[in-house]
Amino acid sequence: MSSTRTEPIVPTASQVARAPKVVLHDHLDGGLRPATVLELAREVDHALPADTAESLAQWFAESADSGSLERYLETFQHTVAVMQTAPALTRVAREFVEDLVADGVVYAEVRYAPEQHVEHGLSLDEVVAAVKQGFDEAVNAADGAIVVRQLLTAMRHQARSMEIAELAVAWRDRGVAGFDIAGAEAGYPPTRHLDAFEYLQRENGYFTIHAGEAFGLPSIWQALQWCGADRLGHGVRIVDDIEVADDGTVTLGRLAAYVRDRRVPLELCPASNVQTGAASSIAEHPIGLLTRLRFRVTVNTDNRLMSDTSMTKEMTALVDAFGYTLDDLRWFTINAMKSAFLPFDERLTIIDEVIKPGYAALAAEGA
Ligand SMILES: O=c1[nH]cnc2c1ncn2[C@H]1C[C@H](O)[C@@H](CO)O1
Ligand SMILES: [Zn+2]
Protein backbone atom coordinates (compact mmCIF):
# COMPACT_ATOMS: atom_id res chain seq x y z
CA MET A 1 0.00 0.00 0.00
CA SER A 2 1.56 3.23 -1.08
CA SER A 3 -1.15 5.62 0.06
CA THR A 4 -1.01 6.82 3.63
CA ARG A 5 -4.05 9.06 3.32
CA THR A 6 -6.54 6.60 4.74
CA GLU A 7 -4.35 5.36 7.59
CA PRO A 8 -5.80 6.29 10.96
CA ILE A 9 -3.97 9.16 12.58
CA VAL A 10 -3.57 9.13 16.34
CA PRO A 11 -3.36 12.86 16.97
CA THR A 12 -0.53 14.53 18.83
CA ALA A 13 -1.28 16.76 21.82
CA SER A 14 -0.73 19.81 19.64
CA GLN A 15 -3.18 18.52 17.04
CA VAL A 16 -5.84 17.90 19.69
CA ALA A 17 -5.29 21.43 20.99
CA ARG A 18 -5.70 22.92 17.52
CA ALA A 19 -8.62 20.73 16.43
CA PRO A 20 -11.99 22.51 16.24
CA LYS A 21 -14.04 21.43 19.25
CA VAL A 22 -17.66 21.73 20.32
CA VAL A 23 -18.88 21.71 23.92
CA LEU A 24 -22.55 21.33 24.83
CA HIS A 25 -22.21 20.77 28.57
CA ASP A 26 -20.05 23.33 30.36
CA HIS A 27 -21.22 25.15 33.52
CA LEU A 28 -20.44 28.86 33.79
CA ASP A 29 -20.14 28.65 37.58
CA GLY A 30 -17.88 25.61 37.18
CA GLY A 31 -15.33 27.27 34.92
CA LEU A 32 -13.98 30.37 36.64
CA ARG A 33 -10.28 31.19 36.63
CA PRO A 34 -8.92 30.62 40.16
CA ALA A 35 -7.29 34.08 40.16
CA THR A 36 -10.66 35.63 39.31
CA VAL A 37 -12.38 33.80 42.16
CA LEU A 38 -9.75 35.22 44.52
CA GLU A 39 -10.13 38.79 43.25
CA LEU A 40 -13.92 38.76 43.22
CA ALA A 41 -14.05 37.15 46.68
CA ARG A 42 -11.89 39.96 48.09
CA GLU A 43 -14.29 42.54 46.65
CA VAL A 44 -17.31 41.03 48.40
CA ASP A 45 -15.51 39.78 51.53
CA HIS A 46 -16.27 36.16 50.83
CA ALA A 47 -13.98 33.81 52.77
CA LEU A 48 -12.25 31.20 50.60
CA PRO A 49 -10.56 27.97 51.68
CA ALA A 50 -7.23 28.99 50.05
CA ASP A 51 -5.45 32.27 49.32
CA THR A 52 -3.36 31.76 46.19
CA ALA A 53 -4.55 30.89 42.71
CA GLU A 54 -2.57 27.64 42.72
CA SER A 55 -3.74 26.45 46.13
CA LEU A 56 -7.33 27.42 45.33
CA ALA A 57 -7.24 25.50 42.03
CA GLN A 58 -5.91 22.51 43.95
CA TRP A 59 -8.59 22.88 46.63
CA PHE A 60 -11.39 22.83 44.05
CA ALA A 61 -10.01 19.81 42.22
CA GLU A 62 -9.33 17.86 45.43
CA SER A 63 -12.64 18.69 47.09
CA ALA A 64 -14.55 17.78 43.95
CA ASP A 65 -12.65 14.52 43.77
CA SER A 66 -14.85 12.92 46.41
CA GLY A 67 -16.69 10.09 44.70
CA SER A 68 -20.00 11.77 45.48
CA LEU A 69 -22.05 14.19 43.36
CA GLU A 70 -23.44 15.89 46.46
CA ARG A 71 -19.94 16.70 47.76
CA TYR A 72 -18.80 17.73 44.28
CA LEU A 73 -21.67 20.22 44.20
CA GLU A 74 -20.76 21.72 47.61
CA THR A 75 -17.70 23.37 46.04
CA PHE A 76 -19.94 25.61 43.92
CA GLN A 77 -20.82 27.70 46.97
CA HIS A 78 -17.51 29.53 46.46
CA THR A 79 -18.03 30.32 42.80
CA VAL A 80 -21.71 31.21 43.06
CA ALA A 81 -20.91 33.55 46.00
CA VAL A 82 -18.68 35.73 43.82
CA MET A 83 -21.12 35.85 40.89
CA GLN A 84 -23.82 38.08 42.41
CA THR A 85 -23.35 41.40 40.61
CA ALA A 86 -23.67 42.35 36.95
CA PRO A 87 -19.97 43.34 36.56
CA ALA A 88 -18.83 40.08 38.19
CA LEU A 89 -21.11 37.99 35.96
CA THR A 90 -19.97 39.86 32.87
CA ARG A 91 -16.31 39.39 33.76
CA VAL A 92 -16.71 35.68 34.48
CA ALA A 93 -18.67 35.19 31.24
CA ARG A 94 -16.09 37.10 29.18
CA GLU A 95 -13.13 35.18 30.62
CA PHE A 96 -15.00 31.90 30.22
CA VAL A 97 -15.33 32.44 26.48
CA GLU A 98 -11.72 33.68 26.17
CA ASP A 99 -10.65 30.39 27.74
CA LEU A 100 -12.86 28.40 25.36
CA VAL A 101 -11.30 30.15 22.37
CA ALA A 102 -7.81 29.37 23.69
CA ASP A 103 -8.93 25.74 24.02
CA GLY A 104 -9.92 25.56 20.33
CA VAL A 105 -13.67 25.50 20.97
CA VAL A 106 -15.65 26.81 17.97
CA TYR A 107 -19.17 26.34 19.35
CA ALA A 108 -20.26 26.28 22.99
CA GLU A 109 -23.48 26.03 24.95
CA VAL A 110 -22.79 27.37 28.42
CA ARG A 111 -25.21 26.73 31.26
CA TYR A 112 -25.78 28.17 34.73
CA ALA A 113 -28.73 28.65 37.05
CA PRO A 114 -29.93 32.30 37.02
CA GLU A 115 -31.86 31.70 40.28
CA GLN A 116 -28.51 31.25 42.08
CA HIS A 117 -27.30 34.74 41.15
CA VAL A 118 -30.02 36.91 42.68
CA GLU A 119 -28.76 36.97 46.30
CA HIS A 120 -27.64 40.62 46.07
CA GLY A 121 -30.75 41.90 44.36
CA LEU A 122 -30.28 41.27 40.64
CA SER A 123 -33.41 40.26 38.77
CA LEU A 124 -33.37 37.10 36.66
CA ASP A 125 -33.40 39.24 33.50
CA GLU A 126 -30.45 41.28 34.76
CA VAL A 127 -28.51 38.08 35.38
CA VAL A 128 -29.08 36.83 31.83
CA ALA A 129 -28.26 40.26 30.39
CA ALA A 130 -24.99 40.47 32.35
CA VAL A 131 -23.88 37.05 31.12
CA LYS A 132 -24.87 37.97 27.56
CA GLN A 133 -22.77 41.11 27.79
CA GLY A 134 -19.67 39.11 28.77
CA PHE A 135 -20.23 36.51 26.06
CA ASP A 136 -20.78 39.21 23.42
CA GLU A 137 -17.60 41.04 24.40
CA ALA A 138 -15.46 37.91 24.12
CA VAL A 139 -17.15 36.67 20.95
CA ASN A 140 -16.63 40.04 19.26
CA ALA A 141 -12.99 40.12 20.37
CA ALA A 142 -12.50 36.62 18.94
CA ASP A 143 -13.61 37.91 15.54
CA GLY A 144 -15.82 35.01 14.52
CA ALA A 145 -13.66 32.23 15.97
CA ILE A 146 -16.47 31.02 18.24
CA VAL A 147 -20.28 30.95 18.50
CA VAL A 148 -21.69 30.82 22.05
CA ARG A 149 -25.19 30.29 23.40
CA GLN A 150 -26.60 30.25 26.94
CA LEU A 151 -28.58 27.38 28.44
CA LEU A 152 -30.63 28.39 31.47
CA THR A 153 -30.62 25.82 34.24
CA ALA A 154 -33.17 25.37 37.02
CA MET A 155 -32.00 23.70 40.23
CA ARG A 156 -33.87 20.44 40.62
CA HIS A 157 -34.21 20.67 44.44
CA GLN A 158 -35.82 24.14 44.12
CA ALA A 159 -39.23 25.06 42.71
CA ARG A 160 -38.40 27.77 40.17
CA SER A 161 -38.21 25.66 37.01
CA MET A 162 -41.35 27.12 35.43
CA GLU A 163 -40.04 30.65 35.92
CA ILE A 164 -36.66 29.72 34.44
CA ALA A 165 -38.30 27.97 31.49
CA GLU A 166 -40.27 31.17 30.84
CA LEU A 167 -37.03 33.14 31.09
CA ALA A 168 -35.42 30.86 28.49
CA VAL A 169 -38.34 31.42 26.11
CA ALA A 170 -38.28 35.18 26.69
CA TRP A 171 -34.56 35.31 25.79
CA ARG A 172 -34.54 32.75 22.99
CA ASP A 173 -33.80 35.27 20.26
CA ARG A 174 -31.15 36.98 22.38
CA GLY A 175 -28.51 34.33 22.89
CA VAL A 176 -30.37 31.72 24.94
CA ALA A 177 -30.71 28.39 23.13
CA GLY A 178 -32.36 26.17 25.72
CA PHE A 179 -33.10 24.97 29.23
CA ASP A 180 -31.73 22.36 31.66
CA ILE A 181 -32.15 21.09 35.20
CA ALA A 182 -29.16 20.32 37.43
CA GLY A 183 -28.20 19.63 41.04
CA ALA A 184 -28.38 16.49 43.16
CA GLU A 185 -30.12 13.79 41.15
CA ALA A 186 -31.07 11.18 43.75
CA GLY A 187 -34.42 12.11 45.31
CA TYR A 188 -35.16 14.83 42.75
CA PRO A 189 -36.59 13.11 39.66
CA PRO A 190 -37.09 15.10 36.46
CA THR A 191 -40.88 14.65 36.68
CA ARG A 192 -40.85 17.09 39.63
CA HIS A 193 -40.52 19.74 36.92
CA LEU A 194 -42.94 18.28 34.39
CA ASP A 195 -44.94 21.50 34.07
CA ALA A 196 -41.81 23.38 32.94
CA PHE A 197 -40.96 20.74 30.35
CA GLU A 198 -44.54 20.59 29.05
CA TYR A 199 -44.55 24.37 28.79
CA LEU A 200 -41.32 24.32 26.78
CA GLN A 201 -42.67 21.65 24.45
CA ARG A 202 -45.75 23.78 23.75
CA GLU A 203 -43.40 26.69 23.06
CA ASN A 204 -41.28 24.61 20.64
CA GLY A 205 -38.35 25.07 23.04
CA TYR A 206 -35.28 22.87 23.43
CA PHE A 207 -34.03 21.32 26.64
CA THR A 208 -31.56 18.89 28.06
CA ILE A 209 -31.85 17.21 31.46
CA HIS A 210 -29.05 16.10 33.79
CA ALA A 211 -30.01 12.43 34.05
CA GLY A 212 -28.25 9.12 34.45
CA GLU A 213 -25.24 10.53 36.29
CA ALA A 214 -25.63 9.80 40.01
CA PHE A 215 -28.86 7.87 39.50
CA GLY A 216 -29.64 5.28 36.89
CA LEU A 217 -32.15 4.17 34.32
CA PRO A 218 -35.38 5.44 35.94
CA SER A 219 -34.00 8.97 35.75
CA ILE A 220 -33.09 8.60 32.07
CA TRP A 221 -36.46 7.01 31.32
CA GLN A 222 -38.34 9.86 32.99
CA ALA A 223 -36.21 12.50 31.28
CA LEU A 224 -36.98 11.05 27.86
CA GLN A 225 -40.40 9.44 28.09
CA TRP A 226 -42.15 11.71 30.58
CA CYS A 227 -40.38 15.01 30.08
CA GLY A 228 -39.39 14.81 26.41
CA ALA A 229 -35.73 15.81 26.78
CA ASP A 230 -33.90 16.55 23.52
CA ARG A 231 -30.56 15.50 25.01
CA LEU A 232 -29.26 13.80 28.16
CA GLY A 233 -26.85 15.64 30.46
CA HIS A 234 -24.39 12.77 31.11
CA GLY A 235 -26.78 9.85 30.45
CA VAL A 236 -23.79 7.64 31.12
CA ARG A 237 -25.80 5.14 33.19
CA ILE A 238 -27.55 4.03 30.01
CA VAL A 239 -24.87 1.32 30.12
CA ASP A 240 -26.92 -0.31 32.90
CA ASP A 241 -29.32 -1.31 30.11
CA ILE A 242 -26.61 -2.86 27.94
CA GLU A 243 -25.42 -6.41 28.42
CA VAL A 244 -22.08 -7.56 27.07
CA ALA A 245 -21.69 -11.35 27.19
CA ASP A 246 -18.34 -13.08 27.68
CA ASP A 247 -18.21 -13.85 23.96
CA GLY A 248 -18.67 -10.15 23.19
CA THR A 249 -22.32 -10.38 22.14
CA VAL A 250 -24.09 -7.14 22.99
CA THR A 251 -27.76 -6.95 23.96
CA LEU A 252 -29.51 -3.61 24.33
CA GLY A 253 -32.49 -3.27 26.65
CA ARG A 254 -35.51 -1.36 25.38
CA LEU A 255 -34.42 2.00 26.80
CA ALA A 256 -30.84 1.72 25.51
CA ALA A 257 -32.20 0.67 22.11
CA TYR A 258 -34.50 3.70 22.10
CA VAL A 259 -31.64 6.04 22.99
CA ARG A 260 -29.47 4.66 20.20
CA ASP A 261 -32.23 4.31 17.59
CA ARG A 262 -33.54 7.81 18.13
CA ARG A 263 -29.99 9.23 18.17
CA VAL A 264 -30.53 10.83 21.59
CA PRO A 265 -27.37 12.88 22.22
CA LEU A 266 -25.39 11.87 25.30
CA GLU A 267 -23.47 14.77 26.85
CA LEU A 268 -20.71 12.63 28.33
CA CYS A 269 -18.27 14.29 30.75
CA PRO A 270 -15.52 11.75 31.48
CA ALA A 271 -13.34 13.65 33.98
CA SER A 272 -16.34 14.80 36.01
CA ASN A 273 -17.73 11.25 36.11
CA VAL A 274 -14.48 9.92 37.56
CA GLN A 275 -14.63 12.57 40.30
CA THR A 276 -18.25 11.90 41.27
CA GLY A 277 -17.80 8.13 41.15
CA ALA A 278 -20.01 7.59 38.07
CA ALA A 279 -16.98 5.93 36.44
CA SER A 280 -13.90 4.42 38.08
CA SER A 281 -11.34 5.72 35.56
CA ILE A 282 -11.18 7.23 32.08
CA ALA A 283 -10.04 3.88 30.65
CA GLU A 284 -13.07 2.17 32.20
CA HIS A 285 -15.48 4.94 31.31
CA PRO A 286 -18.53 3.68 29.38
CA ILE A 287 -17.69 6.14 26.60
CA GLY A 288 -15.56 3.35 25.12
CA LEU A 289 -18.50 0.94 24.82
CA LEU A 290 -21.01 3.63 23.83
CA THR A 291 -18.72 4.88 21.07
CA ARG A 292 -18.13 1.35 19.81
CA LEU A 293 -21.90 0.83 19.67
CA ARG A 294 -22.34 4.14 17.82
CA PHE A 295 -24.59 5.90 20.32
CA ARG A 296 -24.73 9.65 19.64
CA VAL A 297 -21.77 10.36 21.93
CA THR A 298 -20.50 13.87 22.60
CA VAL A 299 -17.50 14.81 24.77
CA ASN A 300 -17.81 17.60 27.33
CA THR A 301 -16.04 19.22 30.26
CA ASP A 302 -18.92 19.80 32.74
CA ASN A 303 -16.86 21.97 35.12
CA ARG A 304 -13.39 22.99 34.02
CA LEU A 305 -12.41 24.38 37.43
CA MET A 306 -13.70 21.55 39.65
CA SER A 307 -12.57 18.83 37.26
CA ASP A 308 -9.28 20.54 36.33
CA THR A 309 -10.11 19.95 32.70
CA SER A 310 -10.65 21.47 29.25
CA MET A 311 -11.86 20.08 25.94
CA THR A 312 -8.24 19.55 24.93
CA LYS A 313 -7.55 17.62 28.15
CA GLU A 314 -10.73 15.51 27.82
CA MET A 315 -9.93 14.56 24.25
CA THR A 316 -6.26 13.93 24.97
CA ALA A 317 -7.21 11.63 27.85
CA LEU A 318 -9.54 9.72 25.51
CA VAL A 319 -6.85 9.42 22.85
CA ASP A 320 -4.48 8.04 25.51
CA ALA A 321 -7.01 5.65 27.03
CA PHE A 322 -8.73 4.34 23.89
CA GLY A 323 -6.32 5.14 21.06
CA TYR A 324 -8.91 7.34 19.39
CA THR A 325 -7.89 8.77 16.02
CA LEU A 326 -8.40 12.15 14.44
CA ASP A 327 -11.46 10.66 12.71
CA ASP A 328 -12.92 9.66 16.08
CA LEU A 329 -12.44 13.18 17.46
CA ARG A 330 -14.05 14.57 14.31
CA TRP A 331 -16.97 12.19 14.83
CA PHE A 332 -17.47 13.35 18.45
CA THR A 333 -17.30 16.96 17.27
CA ILE A 334 -19.76 16.55 14.42
CA ASN A 335 -22.07 14.56 16.72
CA ALA A 336 -22.02 17.51 19.13
CA MET A 337 -22.61 20.09 16.42
CA LYS A 338 -25.51 18.08 15.00
CA SER A 339 -27.00 17.98 18.51
CA ALA A 340 -26.65 21.69 19.24
CA PHE A 341 -29.72 23.79 20.03
CA LEU A 342 -28.90 26.06 17.10
CA PRO A 343 -30.96 26.33 13.89
CA PHE A 344 -30.20 23.58 11.37
CA ASP A 345 -28.67 25.85 8.74
CA GLU A 346 -26.32 27.42 11.30
CA ARG A 347 -25.24 23.97 12.51
CA LEU A 348 -24.50 22.90 8.94
CA THR A 349 -22.48 26.03 8.27
CA ILE A 350 -20.22 25.36 11.26
CA ILE A 351 -19.84 21.69 10.28
CA ASP A 352 -19.07 22.43 6.62
CA GLU A 353 -17.06 25.62 6.97
CA VAL A 354 -15.24 25.16 10.26
CA ILE A 355 -15.16 21.59 11.57
CA LYS A 356 -14.60 19.59 8.39
CA PRO A 357 -11.92 21.91 6.96
CA GLY A 358 -10.23 22.09 10.39
CA TYR A 359 -9.91 18.34 10.67
CA ALA A 360 -8.91 18.03 7.00
CA ALA A 361 -6.04 20.45 7.60
CA LEU A 362 -4.86 18.41 10.58
CA ALA A 363 -5.13 15.16 8.63
CA ALA A 364 -3.04 16.69 5.86
CA GLU A 365 -0.25 17.26 8.42
CA GLY A 366 -0.15 13.55 9.26
CA ALA A 367 0.68 12.42 12.77
O1 LIG B 1 -22.63 17.34 36.68
C2 LIG B 1 -23.44 17.95 37.35
N3 LIG B 1 -24.55 17.33 37.82
C4 LIG B 1 -25.51 18.00 38.49
N5 LIG B 1 -25.44 19.29 38.80
C6 LIG B 1 -24.34 19.95 38.40
C7 LIG B 1 -23.30 19.33 37.68
N8 LIG B 1 -22.35 20.24 37.45
C9 LIG B 1 -22.76 21.39 37.98
N10 LIG B 1 -23.96 21.21 38.56
C11 LIG B 1 -24.77 22.20 39.27
C12 LIG B 1 -23.96 23.11 40.17
C13 LIG B 1 -24.14 24.47 39.60
O14 LIG B 1 -24.22 25.46 40.59
C15 LIG B 1 -25.42 24.37 38.82
C16 LIG B 1 -25.65 25.38 37.73
O17 LIG B 1 -24.57 25.48 36.85
O18 LIG B 1 -25.38 23.05 38.30
ZN1 LIG C 1 -23.36 19.23 34.49
Chain centre to alpha carbon of residue 236: 13
Residue 366 lies in a domain: no
Q: Closest residue (by CA) to atom 17 of ligand 1?
A: 112
pLDDT higher than threshold 90 for residue 68: no
> 240-259 burial, b if ≥16 CB within 10 A, otherwise e?
ebbeeeeeeeeebeebbebb
Residue 8 lies in a domain: no
**CATH number of the domain that residue 26 is part of:** 3.20.20.140
When divided into structural domains, the chain yields a total of: 1
* 208 alpha carbon, closest ligand: 2
DSSP state of 282: S
Whether 213 is catalytic is yes
pLDDT higher than threshold 90 for residue 366: no
- Given this model, what pLDDT does residue 2 score? 41
Q: Residue 153: which domain range?
A: 13-352
Contact 103, 312 (CB under 8 A): yes
Cα–Cα separations (whole angstroms), residue 309 to 5, 44, 104, 143:
32, 27, 14, 25
CA 25 to centroid of ligand 2, rounded, Å: 6
pLDDT higher than threshold 90 for residue 105: yes
CA 86 to centroid of ligand 1, rounded, Å: 21
Residue 216 is assigned to a ligand binding site:
no
Residue 357 lies in a domain: no
- Given this model, what pLDDT does residue 6 score? 64
pLDDT tens sequence across 140-192: 999 999 999 999 999 999 999 999 999 999 999 999 999 999 999 889 999 99
> pLDDT over 70 for what percent of the chain?
98
Check if 272 has its Cβ closer than 6 Å to any atom of ligand 1. Answer: yes
State pTM to two decimals: 0.97
pLDDT higher than threshold 90 for residue 5: no
pLDDT higher than threshold 90 for residue 138: yes
Contact 324, 318 (CB under 8 A): yes
Check if 90 has its Cβ closer than 6 Å to any atom of ligand 1. Answer: no
Contact 108, 146 (CB under 8 A): yes
CA distance 240 to 286: 10
Residue 7 lies in a domain: no
CA distance 154 to 161: 5
Contact 293, 242 (CB under 8 A): yes
Q: Is the ipTM of this complex over 0.90?
A: yes
Q: Select which of 115, 166, 213, 267 is catalytic.
A: 213
Residue 5 lies in a domain: no
Check if 302 has its Cβ closer than 6 Å to any atom of ligand 1. Answer: yes
**Confidence label for 52 from pLDDT (cuts 50, 70 and 90):** very high
pLDDT tens sequence across 242-288: 999 999 999 999 999 999 999 999 999 999 999 999 899 999 999 99
Q: Whats the size of the chain, residue-wise?
A: 367
pLDDT tens sequence across 321-354: 999 999 999 999 999 999 999 999 999 999 999 9
Residue 365 lies in a domain: no
Kindly give the number of the ligand 1 atom that is closest to the alpha carbon of 112: 17
Residue 4 lies in a domain: no
Check if 76 has its Cβ closer than 6 Å to any atom of ligand 1. Answer: yes
Q: Name the nearest CA neighbour of 338 among 256, 263, 229.
A: 263
